[in-house]
């Protein structure tokens, strides 16, 4: 690793032999990052296919986009301030240590942060990367770079700095003191997007719980200006009240209220779970296998679900377009029923509070008969995205037993050599384009071959009073022969064990 003498912390990219100063190179890096700032989302907005349907959700979403944070049960200033991040004009800042590869990775990450910021509704003005062995424990950036950042913020008229990391509460405050505008981190930004996008009651409760969990240890910081004011008043009264001024008491009060609210949310979420579990058990009882679609955000999961089922699920060139899992029924070519479940997108450094909050939702992946891991093969770092997704999946019980197929999507715009590279690395892949339909038939066939086939041979006459059972054989079984006899419906074929037992019982009665 080469440190240039002019500025040991400049984000150089180690092509220093062309005689340019480290600063020039640093500026170049900033420029390059910005030139591609928006490209974590692909260029050119959102393109829809006929499978995407009317996209009513999308219409609704753009109509609603800039009205955020209206619902607040707590009338508390600290919380309101937190919920409405109101990021308008932002400067991004990131860090890396090491050489060219690390610099590239940090750039990709900063570009993704830009896309996240845009998704949250803000305008990205500039980006800064610092090369530094380790973040400064006090101020995240080194003091020199922090001062430079303050200058940049003033120069471009930004009102917020977003750091591409999770800042310690004290780091955030210290950096804020230097740059003189609001500083937020990647975690807060992702939480904010989730809060904007959650639609179902359960999703909203899960996100609020995650936000409060994030907020709790940071309360001091968020309420600081207020408690300082209050503290000042106490100081001028000079009552010698020690460190426990009204500001402190206020924070304790806020903390208690937040804890109470969190407990209430946990109870609500727990109360909502049985309905989902019942539905899942119902599907299980009816032996309808589930295919889970998972993958990095913006990989094209919803588009693929639409291509496979014409479901008309929201597709948007934005991160975290889908938060509420959608389950659709589909049939294999030979008529077997299965469900396809679209899940929330994953992202590098998905806040652990969110993984926790969405755990119950994610656990459905562990129950799936097949996992379609959708990858945007046109992304600059698909392998990094695959790794980030697997990191989260590894935390879900049962996932290791679910067969996984890597679906390389966006083949219409992907570099074939990249596609080939991933194909050689991964055990099972299918190359598709949800847009052109390429590979979709192959994917359908693969799903059909992967889904468990019913094993138990049946040869039964089902009484006409049990039309429901005949229906279930149609849904989940394979029928070789069906005939209407006087005593009932003759069925020969194969079903799963549970249904076979029920059929036997019905036939005997």
Ligand X SMILES: Nc1nc2c(ncn2[C@@H]2O[C@H](COP(=O)(O)OP(=O)(O)OP(=O)(O)O)[C@@H](O)[C@H]2O)c(=O)[nH]1
Kindly compute the dihedral angle of the four CA atoms of residues 158, 164, 169, 172, in this order, to the nearest 10 degrees.
-30
302 vs 361, beta carbon nearer Mg ion: 302
Rounded to the nearest whole angstrom, what is the least distance from the CB of residue 180 to Mg ion in the complex? Answer: 38
Nearer to ligand X, 122 or 409 (CB): 409
Which residue, judged by CB position, is nearest to ligand X in the bound state? Answer: 345
- Which of helix, strand or coil describes residue 504? helix
Picked from Mg ion, ligand X, none, the partner binding residue 434 (CB below 5 to 8 A depending on kind) is: ligand X
Is the Cβ of residue 124 or residue 377 nearer to ligand X in the bound state? 377
Shortest distance in whole angstroms from residue 6 CB to ligand X = 42
For ligand X, the closer CB: 63 or 508: 63
Binding partner of residue 409 among ligand X, Mg ion, none, CB under 5 to 8 Å per kind? ligand X
Residue 46's binding partner among Mg ion, ligand X, none (Cβ under 5 to 8 angstroms by kind) is ligand X
Q: How far is the CB of 246 from ligand X (least distance, A)?
A: 44
How many other C-beta atoms can be found within 10 angstroms of the C-beta atom of residue 135?
18
Q: How far is the CB of 325 from ligand X (least distance, A)?
A: 11
The tokens describing 390, both together, are 């697997």
| Residue among 6, 52, 40, 1 at smallest CA distance from 25 | 6
- What is the number of other CB atoms lying within 10 angstroms of the CB of residue 169? 13
CA dist 253 → 62, 80, 223, 274, 333 (Å)? 37, 15, 12, 33, 60
Q: Which is nearer to ligand X, 245 or 325 (CB)?
A: 325
Residue 435 contact, options Mg ion, ligand X, none, Cβ 5-8 Å cut-off depending on partner type: ligand X
Indicate the residue among 37 and 470 with the shorter CB distance to ligand X: 37
Q: Report what 247 binds from ligand X, Mg ion, none; CB cut-off 5-8 Å by kind.
A: none
Q: Which residues of 382-413 are buried (b: 16+ CB within 10 A; e: fewer)?
A: bebbbebbeebbeebeebeebebbbbbbbbee
Q: Which does 353 bind (CB under 5 to 8 A by kind): ligand X, Mg ion, none?
A: none
| Binding footprint of ligand X on the chain (CB under 6 A) | 42, 46-47, 295, 297-303, 315-317, 319-322, 345, 409-410, 412-413, 433-435
DSSP 194-206: HHHH--SHHHHHH
Residue 47 touches which of ligand X, Mg ion, none (Cβ within 5-8 Å per kind)? ligand X
Grouping H, G, I as helix, E, B as strand and the rest as coil, residue 457 is: strand
Tell the burial category of 437 from Cβ atoms under 10 Å away from its Cβ (0-12, 13-18, 19+).
middle
Site for Mg ion in 288-317 (CB under 5 A): 301-302
Please tell me the distance from the alpha carbon of residue 469 to that of residue 475, in angstroms, as a whole number.
Answer: 10
| Cα 293 to Cα 345: distance, rounded to the nearest angstrom | 10
Six-digit token string for 4: 């240039």
Q: Is 322 in the site for Mg ion (CB under 5 A)?
A: yes
**For residues 141 and 354, which CB has a smaller minimum distance to ligand X in the complex?**
354
Closest approach, Cβ 322 to Mg ion, in A, equals: 3
Nearer to ligand X, 114 or 337 (CB): 114
Q: What's the min distance (Å) between Cβ of 161 and Mg ion?
A: 29
Question: Residues 97-106: contacts with CB within 8 Å, 24+ apart?
Answer: 97/131, 97/132, 97/133, 97/134, 98/1, 98/131, 99/1, 99/14, 100/13, 100/14, 103/11, 103/12, 103/13, 103/14, 103/29, 103/129, 103/131, 105/381, 105/384, 106/11, 106/164
321 binds Mg ion (CB under 5 A): yes
Q: In terms of CB distance, is 309 or 409 closer to ligand X?
A: 409
Closest CA relative to residue 184, chosen from 198, 165, 197? 165
CB of 374 to Mg ion, least distance (A): 10
CA atoms within 13 A on the CB side of 319: 28
Residue 489 interacting partner from ligand X, Mg ion, none (CB closer than 5 to 8 Å by kind): none
| Tokens representing residue 159 in the block | 């009102």
Q: 221, 169 in Cβ contact below 8 A?
A: yes
Three-state DSSP class for 166? Answer: coil
User: Is residue 171 a contact residue for Mg ion (CB under 5 A)?
Assistant: no
**Shortest approach of Mg ion to residue 304 CB, angstroms?**
9
Q: Which of residues 184-223 bind Mg ion (CB under 5 A)?
A: none
Q: Give the separation between CA 322 and CA 306, rounded to whole angstroms.
A: 13
Q: Which is nearer to ligand X, 248 or 412 (CB)?
A: 412
Name the minimum Å distance from CB 306 to ligand X. 7
Shortest distance, CB of residue 440 to Mg ion, whole angstroms? 17
The residue sitting closest to Mg ion, measured at its beta carbon, is 322
Contacts of residue 468, Cβ cutoff 8 Å, sequence gap at least 6: none
- CB of 327 or CB of 469, closer to Mg ion: 327
Choosing among Mg ion, ligand X, none, which partner's interface includes residue 317 (Cβ < 5 to 8 Å by kind)?
A: ligand X
Q: Kindly state the smallest distance separating residue 319's Cβ from ligand X, in Å.
A: 5
Per CB under 5 A, residues contacting Mg ion are 301-302, 321-322
């Amino acid at each position: 690793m080469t440190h240039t003498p002019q500025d040991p912390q400049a984000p150089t990219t180690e092509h220093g032999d062309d005689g340019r100063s480290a600063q020039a190179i640093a500026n170049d890096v900033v420029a390059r990052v910005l030139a591609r700032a928006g490209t974590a989302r692909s260029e050119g907005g959102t393109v829809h296919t006929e499978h995407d349907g009317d996209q009513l959700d999308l219409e609704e979403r753009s109509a609603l986009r800039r009205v955020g944070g209206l619902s607040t049960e707590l009338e508390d200033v600290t919380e309101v301030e937190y919920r409405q991040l109101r990021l308008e004009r932002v400067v991004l800042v990131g860090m890396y240590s090491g050489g060219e590869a690390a610099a590239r990775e940090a750039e990709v990450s900063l570009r993704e942060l830009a896309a996240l910021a845009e998704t949250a509704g803000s305008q990205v003005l500039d980006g800064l990367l610092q090369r530094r062995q380790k973040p400064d424990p006090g101020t995240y950036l080194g003091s020199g770079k922090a001062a430079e950042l303050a200058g940049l913020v003033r120069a471009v008229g930004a009102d917020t700095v977003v750091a591409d990391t999770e800042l310690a509460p004290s780091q955030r405050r210290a950096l804020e003191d230097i740059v003189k505008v609001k500083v937020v981190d990647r975690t807060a930004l992702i939480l904010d997007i989730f809060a904007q996008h959650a639609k179902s009651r359960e999703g909203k409760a899960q996100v609020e719980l995650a936000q409060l969990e994030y907020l709790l240890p940071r309360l001091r910081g968020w309420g600081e200006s207020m408690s300082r004011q209050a503290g000042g008043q106490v100081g001028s009264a000079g009552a010698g009240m020690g460190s426990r001024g009204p500001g402190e008491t206020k924070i304790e009060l806020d903390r208690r209220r937040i804890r109470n609210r969190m407990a209430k949310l946990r109870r609500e979420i727990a109360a909502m779970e049985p309905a989902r579990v019942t539905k899942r058990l119902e599907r299980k009882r009816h032996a309808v296998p589930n295919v889970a679609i998972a993958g990095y955000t913006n990989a094209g999961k919803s588009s693929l679900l639409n291509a496979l089922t014409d479901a008309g699920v929201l597709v948007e060139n934005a991160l975290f377009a889908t938060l509420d899992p959608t389950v659709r029924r589909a049939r294999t070519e030979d008529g077997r029923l299965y469900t396809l479940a679209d899940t929330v997108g994953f992202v590098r450094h998905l806040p652990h509070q969110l993984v926790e909050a969405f755990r119950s939702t994610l656990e459905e992946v562990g129950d799936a008969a097949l996992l379609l891991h959708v990858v945007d093969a046109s992304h600059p770092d698909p392998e990094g995205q695959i790794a980030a997704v697997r990191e989260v999946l590894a935390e879900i019980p049962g996932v290791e037993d679910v067969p996984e197929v890597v679906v390389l999507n966006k083949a219409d715009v992907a570099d074939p050599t990249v596609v080939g590279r991933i194909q050689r690395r991964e055990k099972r892949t299918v190359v598709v384009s949800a847009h052109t339909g390429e590979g979709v038939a192959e994917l359908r066939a693969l799903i059909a071959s992967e889904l468990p086939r019913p094993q138990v041979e049946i040869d039964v006459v089902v009484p006409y009073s049990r039309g429901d059972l005949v229906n279930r054989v149609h849904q989940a079984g394979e029928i070789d022969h069906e005939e209407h006899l006087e005593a009932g419906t003759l069925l020969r074929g194969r079903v799963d064990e549970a249904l076979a037992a029920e059929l036997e019982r019905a036939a005997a009665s």
